[in-house]
Each structure stands twice: as structure tokens, then as C-alpha cells.
Amino acid sequence: MSILVDQNTRLLVQGITGREGMFHTKSSIEYGTNVVAGVTPGRGGETVLDVPIFNTVSEAVRATAANVSVIYVPAGGAADAMLEASAAGIPLVVCITERVPVQDMMRVKSEFNKRGTKLIGPNCPGLISPDQAKVGIIPGNICKAGPVGLVSRSGTLTYEVVDALTRQGNGQSTCVGIGGDPVRGLNFVEILEMFQNDPDTRAIIAIGEIGGTDEEKAALYIKEHVTKPVVAFIAGQTAPPGKRMGHAGAIIEGGTGTAEEKIKAFQAVGVPVARYPVECAELIAKVL
């Protein structure tokens, strides 16, 4: 099995006619993902990559029964694109776009919570269930179907750890990049719950980074609810306080959000913490 996306995913691409949208849509189609529609206002009736284009998400949903939307719309219009997808009844929205304003995301989060829409991102690589569906920019060629669930705040570290797992012979059930912005969709705890309930996920990797308290909350959740082996890695261990490191949310403020605090939180509940990303694969091999 997998979480969030699978062979039943019917993908809609918002911003499909842009450079990034077209490039990554082609990659998803080549991977075998069922891309059923694209949305670009004013381009309705056209086709791109043999995918029909619609002017609005609601039109696309009515015509194709799309159930997941991925967004490659520029930052200024990304919030409206997310809200349009939710209003049209799409249950899962994945926003790849970077630099979405925090105030915009606060509005999106409020509306999504009211409607029950799930959100991955923004500023994330998306997700992939190997051999089933690829939604976003995670390279399909480094993935392999298997029993390891992975959730990460970092896109590039996701790729590094997935590649190490695959080379080692351990495949993945689903890999989810939740993004590193301060206001975003699904968090560690929500993804951990899904992996815990997925019978085919036998072990979990959590890749965190400095800033915020998501990892500390995840550690407490693991202690109380997760029975499967979990391995962690925390990026930013040498980051100085007050300096943003990569992601907007990766900043140590007021003495909180340090790598040391997060590592201690995981270790306190029996979760081994890798010293470097590739070691996650080595630690997982010991518990499978």
C-alpha cells in the first residue's frame, strides 16, 4: 500500500502550460502517473502533452473526476490556486511553489481547515508512491517500491536518503516532502499517523531541520502512538542562532528550534538519530 497517492490518483496540474509545470508534468506522465487535466485560465480547450486544458479547476473536476491537484503557479497566484482547488472539492492539494507569502498561507490554512482539504507544501518537492504515482519533483528513477515510509522537511535530503535506501535494496512505500516554510500543510505528526496505519509501511524515516518545534512534537507522538521502528536525521546542526539556513522556517529564534534540542527529543523516546543523511539507510537496515 501507500499513503496519500496511489494507482487511483487522478492528477490535475495547475500551471501546466508554464515551463516548470510542463517539464514536471511530462516527468509524471513518463513515470506512469494518471494525469487527467491541466488548468491555465484562458487556455481552455487546448491540450498539452495530450492532457486536456481547462480554464478553471471546477470545470476540470467535473469533466475528469480529478482527485489530486499539484500547483506550479508563481508565488503571487499560488494561494488563489490552492483555494480554487479546495473550493472545487479536490481532497489533496500539493503546492510546489516557493516564496508564497506567509499571510497568504495563513489564509489558505484557515480555509483548508474549514473544508477538510489536505495540503502538502508549499515550497516542497511533493510526494511519490513508487511504481504508483509521482506528484511533484521527486526523481522517480531513484525510488523503489518497498516498506520504508519517509517524511522530510528538506527536498534535497529526501533525494539523498531515498537514493541510499534504493542502493541498499530497501524500497519505499511513500516519500513525502512536507516543505520548510513556517506555515505549511500536513506536518510530521499527521504523516506519521498515516504511516502507522499503513500495513505495508514497516519502518519510518523522519528528516527534520532546525527551526520550530515540529520534530519535538513528532517525538512525543512516536512515544505514545507509533509502534513501528523510526529513524531520524536533523539538518542544520552547525547553524548559528538568528541565521536562516535554506528554508524560511529553518531559523533558531529565542534559543529554541536548535538541532541539539530536536536530537535529544528523538533520542529520549528511543529513536536513533543519524549523524549524516546516508546513515539513515544504514540504521533502517538494522530494524527491517
> Residue 66 is placed in which grid cell?
480529478
Residues 20 and 114 placed together within one structural domain of the fold:
yes
| Residues lower than pLDDT 50 in the chain | 247-255
Which positions ≥6 away from 280 have C-beta within 8 Å? 161, 164, 165, 205, 207, 231, 232, 233, 274
> 233-245 burial, b for 16+ CB within 10 Å, e for fewer?
bbbbeebeeeeeb
Is 5 contained in some domain? no
Bridge-based pairing of strands 35-39 and 51-54 is parallel
The CATH number for 225's domain is: 3.40.50.261
- Single out the catalytic residue among 24, 153, 247, 262: 247
Query: What are residue 29's phi and psi, to 5 degrees?
Result: -65, -45
What is the number of domains present in the chain? 2
Rounded to two decimals, the pTM is: 0.93
**Residue-wise pLDDT tens digits, 229-264:** 999 999 877 656 555 555 444 444 444 578 888 999
> Catalytic site residue 225?
no
Where in the sequence is the domain holding 54, given as residue range(s)? 11-120
Residues 266 and 148 placed together within one structural domain of the fold:
yes
pLDDT number for residue 138: 98
